[in-house]
């Protein structure tokens, strides 16, 4: 039997307020060129110094903020904090939009086999960065990686074993204009899985989803 309630259960809004304070600290550190102290953060947020210190400690533990040079005051110097690279990455970035523009410009200057080879190199480079030295990644995890890249993807079971189905394509408009753009996805999947990839369905061909099946590579004869 539960005897008592902790402070969060007694005050359901406390988690929401803590989340808001956390987001506002990240936002303040993003927009300030100079490091900020706990005291200044508490003043800017209108919360107690203790509450601000708890949020700063949690954010530092998660690697979203980091210690900077001490801030000089009339009394003892105060520890300064700034946004870390990981903290900066939490803010929205239009990578998909920029990538589309880069690929569109590239496709205007290349065509045929040259464009396909360029797309393949892009997919391989992206896969190598994601894999971080791993020779292959399970199909289920690759589906999750694609979702993180902006695809509505999931792993599916097919006659050949696990496959991937995606219901949107980051580069759909470009792929409709030139199917060579699909080589980014195909080379990405081949490199991550260490398998050959069969592009069974393709939205650029007017189908409702993209579906990829995987087969083991045939040993060289």
User: What pLDDT does 4 receive?
Assistant: 40
Whether residue 10 has pLDDT greater than 60: no
- Each residue's pLDDT tens digit, 122-159: 999 999 998 887 888 999 999 999 988 888 899 999 88
How many whole angstroms separate alpha carbon 166 and alpha carbon 145?
A: 12
CATH 1.10.10.10, the chain: domain bounds: 7-88
Could you report the per-residue pLDDT of 26-68, keeping only the tens digit for each? Answer: 999 988 888 999 999 999 999 999 999 999 999 999 999 999 9
**Percent of all residues in the chain with a pLDDT value above 90, rounded to a whole number:** 46
d(CA 26, CA 89): 11
Nearest one of 83, 57, 81, 59 to 71, comparing CA atoms: 81
pLDDT tier for residue 14 given thresholds of 50, 70 and 90: low
Fold of 95-215: H-NOX domain (3.90.1520)
Residue span(s) of the chain under CATH 3.90.1520.10 come to 95-215
Which numeric CATH code is attached to 7-88?
A: 1.10.10.10
pTM of the model: 0.58
β-bridge partners, 166: 153, 210
DSSP character for 194? Answer: T
Res 163: pLDDT = 95
* pLDDT per position as a tens digit, 101-114: 888 888 888 888 99
From first CA to last CA, the distance across the chain in angstroms is: 69
Q: How far apart are CA 68 and CA 80, in angstroms?
A: 5
Question: What's the CA gap between 193 and 196, in Å, rounded?
Answer: 8
Q: How far apart are CA 91 and CA 81, in angstroms?
A: 18
Mean pLDDT of 206-214: 93
């Amino acid at each position: 039997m539960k005897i008592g309630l902790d402070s969060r259960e007694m005050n359901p809004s406390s988690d929401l307020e803590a989340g808001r304070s956390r987001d506002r600290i990240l936002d303040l550190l993003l927009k300030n060129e100079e490091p900020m102290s706990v005291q200044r953060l508490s003043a800017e947020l209108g919360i107690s110094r203790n509450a601000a210190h708890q949020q700063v400690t949690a954010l530092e533990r998660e690697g979203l903020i980091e210690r900077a040079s001490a801030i000089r005051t009339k009394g003892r110097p105060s520890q300064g904090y700034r946004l870390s690279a990981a903290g900066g990455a939490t803010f929205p970035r239009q990578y998909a939009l920029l990538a589309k523009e880069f690929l569109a410009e590239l496709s205007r200057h290349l065509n045929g086999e040259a464009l396909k080879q360029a797309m393949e190199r892009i997919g391989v480079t992206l896969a190598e960065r994601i894999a971080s030295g791993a020779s292959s990644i399970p199909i289920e995890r690759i589906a999750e990686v694609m979702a993180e890249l902006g695809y509505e993807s999931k792993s599916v079971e097919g006659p050949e074993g696990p496959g991937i189905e995606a219901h949107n394509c980051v580069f759909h408009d470009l792929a409709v204009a030139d199917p060579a753009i699909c080589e980014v996805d195909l080379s990405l999947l081949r490199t991550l899985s260490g398998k050959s990839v069969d592009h069974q369905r393709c939205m650029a061909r007017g189908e409702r989803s993209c579906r990829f099946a995987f087969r083991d590579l045939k040993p060289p004869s």
